Amino acid sequence: MFKKVILLTSAGLLAACGGGSGGSSDGLKTGKVEGLAGAAYRTESQSGLLNSNGEYRYKDGETVSILVGNVELGSRRAGNTTLVQLLDLNKLPEDPAVVRGLLRLPEYSRDLLRTSYQGGLSQLTSNNLHMTSNKMRLLIALDDDDNAANGFDISAHQAAFNNLELDLNHTLYQFATSDAAMAFQHTSGISLAMDNARPLREAYALAQLSVEVPQRMRVENGAEFSYDTLSRVASKTQLDGPDVQTTNTYTYSNTGGLLSEVQISEPYGESSTFSPTKLAYSYSYNDFGQPLSYQTDQYVKGNISQLQSTRLESRSYLNNRVLLTRTQNTEDDNADGQTNHSRSVRREYNEQLQLTSSKTFTGTNIEDETFSYGEYELVYDDQNRLTGYEYENTNSSTLQSYQFNYQQVDGNSVATRTVTRAADKRVTEETISPNGKLLKRVLRTLTLQDEVTAATTVYYSYNDGGLISECRLEEDNNNDGNIDATARSQLSYSGFGLSTIATTKDTNGDGTPDAELTHNFIYGDDGEVVSSAYGSFVYGNNAENGISYLINEYSNEISGFSADEKLVVSSQSNKCEQIFTYGENF
């Protein structure tokens, strides 16, 4: 919230606050960013912080950059401007087809293999829609009164973001859970948790823009949907057979997390003899949007008012923020309030917030949770990269060792993971190009004496837009240099998103495909999925908030009602790895 300056104690300051056209004896002028206070600014000759009125100093002809830590919000010719202009909010698309295309087509990239314990695939994008959402999320989180309508005053949190290191290139769905964002939230105590649609919903409101788009109402001959006021799925109803109808209802937390899901299956039709069933799932979260509990209640078949069993997963976090320290699972098989089994995983971190150990304990109840089931001990190098860990399963007296090696070969990064088990070794080697693209993955099986017994290699190709266009898999089952089987997936795209996945398999290595499968994705004029491998879809009734609906349309938070979008949005690399099992009869 902005505060008016009632009194300035210096005549010079009074002269300096006359706006972009005012000047002073030192040649400096005063510019202003309407709607923002407390952020840093930098020109060719000046730097500092925007005052409570959003003002800064500059020389005529300079360019000003506005920043939060190392995160640049925008840059333009110094003078007077507004936050809407600085963030180019007035250029946000109102065409739903354009919005869908931007949401569906991030540039897929790859983190180096397991440089952290989590490791894995990252979805990175230079897409302005995602970046605008990430900037808005940061400002909303830092604002002193959580009210975007009266501007953003982030002055109170200057110490927290002074050395902030965040990457705006993550997709809007992943930004708050990136390693850097998690570290920021842990050290600063400032939560980035919020409904994924909120940042762009408020950006469109500030720019007085809107998106008009019909909601998906049903799958042809399948599920029907209803929505809440924020355009999130409120219910899904479908036939699970000729005489069974299942309805799922959903509620959400203030930060967008799923609060509850109730699934009830009931008889459908006068002749149905089906006995009703009920499952209820409930969730809770901390102030950082991290899940605190997840409970599953199963009810007696035919008597859905009587509880049959309960399972509960509860979580604890370091300083009650974002770093998971304990996960505990308990089971009450008879719904009598007595725990039949308990299991917990306990995690520890070093000063760099890296996971250093993970230990599993079990018992018949929480108090008796003393049996050590297994543990990890993790080691890092001086570049904070994971170099190894061991997993000891104390229940079966087995030990697995994991080693990680990183090197540069012909300008590419090569990351290798070696897993040593009781009877053999598995070595995974990834080659990553200088621009972060995964070029090749090789999986080798070796004896404990390092003799290679089998190898599988996947090659990746990309189109001019940086999206995976092809992946090719080759199997050498006995390491004799002969290819025993191959598979190839070719992916094509339109402006709306993924158009086709065409997969062929040669299971005997004779050069002739013996299985072929093509999945097509057909889009409507608004970029909506009309038909895909999962069925055809019917749309109607405009969403109450169009941009919110479009973002939630691709959210994967609830499995089941958005399977087609999971396929469109999910990592193309994952699909390539699954080409031996992808689709019908594959």
> Which H or E run contains 373?
strand 371-380
pLDDT above 80 (res 5): no
Write down how long the chain is: 586
Q: What mean pLDDT do residues 558-572 have?
A: 37
- Please, what is the Cα angle at 62 between 60 and 66, to 5 degrees? 125
In percent, the amount of the chain with pLDDT more than 70 equals 87
Residue 202 CB partners (closer than 8 Å, separation 6+) = 136, 140, 148
Task: Report, as an integer, the average pLDDT of 396-407.
Answer: 87
Q: Residue 373's pLDDT is what?
A: 73
pLDDT at 397 over 90: no
pLDDT in tens, 102-150: 988 776 666 555 566 554 455 677 689 999 999 999 999 999 999 999 9
367: exposed, middle or buried (Cβ count in 10 Å: 0-12, 13-18, 19+): exposed
For residue 210, give the amino acid letter: S
Which residues, in sequence order, are CB contacts of 375 under 8 Å at separation 6+?
357, 358, 359, 360, 391, 392, 394
Output the CA angle 187-288-207, nearest 5 degrees.
100
**Residue 54: both structure tokens together:** 């959003």
> What are the tens digits of pLDDT across the range 208-225?
999 999 999 988 878 899
Phi/psi at 155 (nearest 5 deg)?
Answer: -60, -35
Residue of 584 and 136 predicted with greater confidence: 136
Is the separation of the CB atoms in 369 and 340 below 8 Å?
no
Phi, psi of 104 (to 5 degrees): -85, -20
Q: Which two tokens stand for residue 48?
A: 């500092």
Nearest 10 degrees: Cα torsion 69, 72, 73, 79: 100
Q: How confident is the model at residue 285 (pLDDT cuts 50, 70, 90)?
A: very high
Question: In the beta sheet, which residues pair with residue 567?
Answer: none
At residue 20, the pLDDT reads 52
Question: By the 8 A CB rule, do 529 and 564 touch?
Answer: yes
431 token code pair: 């080659």
Give the number of other Cβ atoms within 10 Å of residue 551's Cβ.
26
Q: How confident is the model at residue 18 (pLDDT cuts 50, 70, 90)?
A: very low
Taking the whole predicted model, whether its pTM rises above 0.85 is answered as: yes
514 pLDDT more than 50: yes
Q: Residue 519: what are its φ and ψ, rounded to 5°?
A: -105, 130
Tokens of 280: 């209820």
> For residue 112, what pLDDT is reported?
55
For the stretch 367-377, pLDDT in tens is: 777 777 778 88
Q: Quote the CA–CA distance of 53 and 32 in Å, as a whole number.
A: 8
DSSP state of 490: E
Residue 530 confidence class, pLDDT cut points 50, 70, 90:
confident
pLDDT computed for residue 547 by the predictor: 97
CA distance 35 to 52: 10
pLDDT tens-digit readout, 322-365:
999 999 999 999 999 888 889 999 999 999 999 999 888 888 87
d(CA 47, CA 179): 29
- Confidence class of residue 510 from pLDDT cuts 50, 70 and 90? confident
Q: Which two tokens stand for residue 15?
A: 């002269």
Cα–Cα distance measured from residue 234 to residue 212, given in angstroms and rounded to the nearest whole number: 20
Tokens of 47: 């730097």
Q: What is the pLDDT of residue 10?
A: 30
Token look-up 């509880």 returns 307
Strand (E) or helix (H) holding 262: strand 258-267
Q: Does residue 239 or residue 586 have the better pLDDT?
A: 239
Q: 227-243 pLDDT, tens per residue?
A: 999 999 899 999 988 99
Q: Flag whether pLDDT at 426 surpasses 90.
A: yes
Could you tell me if 561 and 225 are in contact, meaning their C-beta atoms sit under 8 angstroms apart? yes
Mention every residue, 6+ apart, whose C-beta is less than 8 A from residue 428. Answer: 113, 416, 417, 419, 441, 442, 443, 444
Alpha helix stretches (DSSP H) within 71-178: 83-86, 96-104, 128-142, 158-161
Q: Is the dihedral of CA 440, 446, 452, 454 positive or negative?
A: negative
Question: How does residue 13 score in pLDDT terms, banded at 50, 70 and 90?
Answer: very low
Q: What is the pLDDT of residue 564?
A: 35
CATH dotted code for 11-86: 2.60.40
Name the band, by pLDDT with cuts 50, 70 and 90, for residue 9: very low
- Residue 215 near residue 539 (C-beta atoms within 8 A): yes
Mean pLDDT, all residues of the chain? 85
Contacts 24+ apart (CB under 8 A), 24-28: 27/59, 27/60, 28/57, 28/58, 28/59
Backbone angles phi, psi at 212, to 5 degrees: -100, 120
User: What is the distance between the alpha carbons of residues 146 and 140, in angstroms, rounded to a whole number?
Assistant: 6
Q: How many angstroms separate the Cα of 512 from the Cα of each of 13, 476, 506, 584?
A: 80, 17, 6, 20
pLDDT-wise least confident of 168-172, 505-509, 552-556? 552-556
Q: How far apart are the first and last CA of the chain?
A: 58
537, 211 contact by CB (below 8 A): no
Query: Tokens representing 151?
Result: 């501007």
Average pLDDT over residues 156-177: 88
Cβ-contact 361, 372 below 8 angstroms: yes
| Cβ–Cβ < 8 Å for 415, 406 | yes
Token pair, residue 582, equals 């992808």
- What pLDDT does 376 receive? 84
Tell me which DSSP letter residue 177 carries: G
pLDDT exceeds 60 at position 16: no
Helix (H, G, I), strand (E, B) or coil at 341: strand
Which pairs with CB-CB distance under 8 Å and at least 24 residues apart come from 453-456?
A: 453/424, 453/478, 453/479, 454/478, 454/479, 455/479
pLDDT confidence of residue 368: 78
How far is Cα 212 from Cα 351, in angstroms, rounded to an integer?
A: 49
- Select from 88, 45, 52, 48 the least CA-distant residue to 66: 48
Quickly tell me which residue has 């008597």 as its tokens: 303
3-state secondary structure of 11: helix
Q: Which residues contact 287 (CB under 8 A, 6 or more apart)?
A: 191, 193, 320
Placement of tokens 């698309």 in the chain: 93
Q: What is residue 569's predicted lDDT score, i.e. its pLDDT?
A: 35
